[in-house]
Amino acid sequence: MVGALLAPVPAQTPAQVVLPTATDLTRALSQALAQGQPLVVMVSLDGCPYCRQVRQSHLGPLWRSGQVVVQIDMQHSDTLIDWDGRQRSHADWVKSRRVSIAPTVLFLGPDGREVADRLEGASLPDFYGAYLDARLAQARQRLAPQPGAGLKPTLLGPGPGRADTRPFFSLNQG
């Protein structure tokens, strides 16, 4: 009886999170932008413990909450459709983006442009969630319509009755 009380209890391990693999970046980006969100792309590497941690603790819950998140493997020959409709391997896409660290999280907006700073590595797990939240806020702010959109600056000079002769800018419609 005492031996049974001292027996180790099997650890409860959460189910492995599997993010969607990127197959068509144009379609994934369209889905994200329709929600007013960036496309979140995790560049990962098979067997990378930091990648697994980021996927399990941060990107999995984000994806389950409705954010469009896809994963691209640094070394896979799986193919995806890029912004120009061209098929290329995951490895080629990663090289074209100059990603060399796993994990790297990209936040993409119109035309596949990065709309927030990349989140590279995961060496500070206690702060990773805060870093991720800050990058998402940065991306969402850049995607949000800006007040005064459609206004263009016009350089104006001294006008009648103006004592100040320095030129200034005015925002005019048009």
63-86 pLDDT tens trace: 999 999 999 999 989 999 998 889
Q: What pLDDT was estimated at residue 161?
A: 47
* DSSP-based three-state secondary structure for 41: strand
Strand residue runs (E) in 104-146: 104-108, 119-120
Show the tokens assigned to 146. Answer: 């800006």
Average pLDDT rounded to a whole number, residues 110-138: 92
Report residue 149's pLDDT band, with 50, 70 and 90 as the boundaries: low
For 134-145, what is the mean pLDDT? 93
| Nearest to 32, CA basis, from 20, 48, 14 | 20
- Please count the other Cβ atoms lying within 10 Å of the Cβ belonging to residue 75: 12
Q: Is residue 10 very low, low, confident or very high in pLDDT (cuts 50, 70, 90)?
A: very low
Does the structure show a pLDDT above 50 at 59? yes
pLDDT at residue 14 is higher than 70: no
Using pLDDT thresholds of 50, 70 and 90, give the confidence band for residue 166. very low
Q: Mark residue 103 as left, alpha or beta (left: phi above 0; alpha: psi -120 to 50; beta: remaining).
A: beta
The number of C-alpha atoms within 13 Å of 140 and in the hemisphere containing its C-beta is 10
Write down the mean pLDDT value for the chain.
82
Strand order in the sheet with 119-120: 69-73, 39-44, 104-108, 119-120
Query: Which homologous superfamily does the CATH classification assign to the domain defined by 25-143?
Result: Glutaredoxin (3.40.30.10)
Give the per-residue pLDDT at 6. Answer: 44
The per-residue pLDDT for 122 is 87
Cα separation of 14 and 11, whole Å? 10
Helix (H, G, I), strand (E, B) or coil at 19: coil
Collapsing DSSP to helix, strand or coil, 75 comes out as: coil
Q: Which tokens belong to 18? A: 């599997």
